[in-house]
Amino acid sequence: MDLTEYVQRQKHVVAQQSRAVRDFTVFDYNYIPEKPFIRSESKQIIDAMLRFDVSGIATNFAVIGSRGSGKTLTMKYLARVVPAQTDLSMRYVNCRHHNTSFKILARLLNKRCTGLSLDKLFEMFSESITGKTVFVLDEVDLMSAKDKNRDILYLLSRSEKPVMVIMLSNNPHLLRELDAASKSSLQLVQMHFANYNAEQINAILLERAQKGLVSYDYTEVSEIAAMTTKKTNSDTRVAIKTLYYNVTEPQKSVESCFENARKDIVIDVINDLSDQNLLILTAAAQNKSDLTKNIYDLYCRLCRSQCEKPFSYVYYYSNLGYLQSIGLIALVSTKFGRTYTNRVVLTFNHSILFDTCRLRFSRVPAPRS
Ligand SMILES: Nc1ncnc2c1ncn2[C@@H]1O[C@H](COP(=O)(O)OP(=O)(O)O)[C@@H](O)[C@H]1O
Ligand SMILES: [Mg+2]
What tens-digit pLDDT sequence spans the chain (369 residues)? 789 999 999 898 888 888 889 999 999 989 999 999 999 999 999 999 999 999 999 999 999 998 899 999 999 999 999 999 999 999 999 998 898 999 999 999 988 878 888 999 999 999 999 999 999 999 998 887 778 788 999 999 989 999 999 999 988 888 887 888 888 889 999 999 999 999 999 999 999 999 999 989 999 999 999 999 998 889 999 999 999 999 998 889 999 999 999 999 999 889 888 888 999 999 999 998 999 999 999 999 999 988 889 999 998 998 898 898 888 998 998 887 888 889 999 988 888 888 888 888 876 655 554
| Structure confidence by residue, pLDDT tens digits, 327-363 | 899 899 888 788 888 999 998 888 888 888 888 887 6
| Structure confidence by residue, pLDDT tens digits, 232-290 | 889 999 999 999 999 998 889 999 999 999 999 999 889 888 888 999 999 999 998 99
pLDDT of residue 114: 81
Look at domain 3-21+196-270 and name its CATH class. mainly alpha
User: Residue 72 C-alpha to ligand 1 middle, in angstroms?
Assistant: 7
Is CATH 1.10.10.10 the classification given to domain 273-360? yes
Look at residues 131, 132, 107 and name the one whose alpha carbon lies nearest to residue 121.
107
Domain chopping of the chain, boundaries: 3-21+196-270, 40-193, 273-360
Nearest protein CA to atom 24 of ligand 1, as residue: 29
Residue 119 buriedness (CB in 10 A; 0-12 / 13-18 / 19+): exposed
Q: What phi and psi, each to the nearest 5 degrees, are found at residue 91? A: -125, 135
Pocket of ligand 1 (CB under 6 A): 29, 31, 33, 36-37, 65, 67-73, 204, 236-237, 240
Residues forming beta bridges with residue 332, ordered by sequence position: 343
| Structure confidence by residue, pLDDT tens digits, 81-90 | 999 999 999 9
User: Do residues 223 and 206 touch, judged by C-beta distance below 8 A?
Assistant: no
Q: Ligand 1: which of 236, 264, 325 to mutate, judged by most atoms within 8 Å of the beta carbon?
A: 236
User: Do residues 193 and 65 touch, judged by C-beta distance below 8 A?
Assistant: yes
Ligand 1 nearest atom to the CA of residue 168, by list position = 21
- Three-state DSSP class for residue 89: strand
Which option is the CATH number for 40-193: 3.40.50.300, 3.90.1170.40, 3.40.50.1000, 3.30.360.10?
Answer: 3.40.50.300
Nearest protein CA to atom 9 of ligand 1, as residue: 70
Task: Tell me how far apart the alpha carbons of residues 89 and 126 are, in angstroms, rounded to a whole number.
Answer: 14
pLDDT of residue 365: 59
Task: Tell me how far apart the alpha carbons of residues 265 and 43 are, in angstroms, rounded to a whole number.
Answer: 30
Distances (CA, A) of 214 to 116, 253, 263, 325: 54, 19, 27, 35
User: Residue 70 C-alpha to ligand 2 middle, in angstroms?
Assistant: 7
pLDDT of residue 366: 58
Task: Classify the phi-psi angles of 6: left when phi > 0, otherwise alpha if psi is within -120 to 50, otherwise beta.
Answer: alpha
Distances (CA, A) of 320 to 57, 311, 345: 36, 12, 11
Ligand 1 nearest atom to the CA of residue 73, by list position = 17
User: Do residues 157 and 137 touch, judged by C-beta distance below 8 A?
Assistant: no
Look at residues 313, 276, 290, 284 and name the one whose alpha carbon lies nearest to residue 146.
276
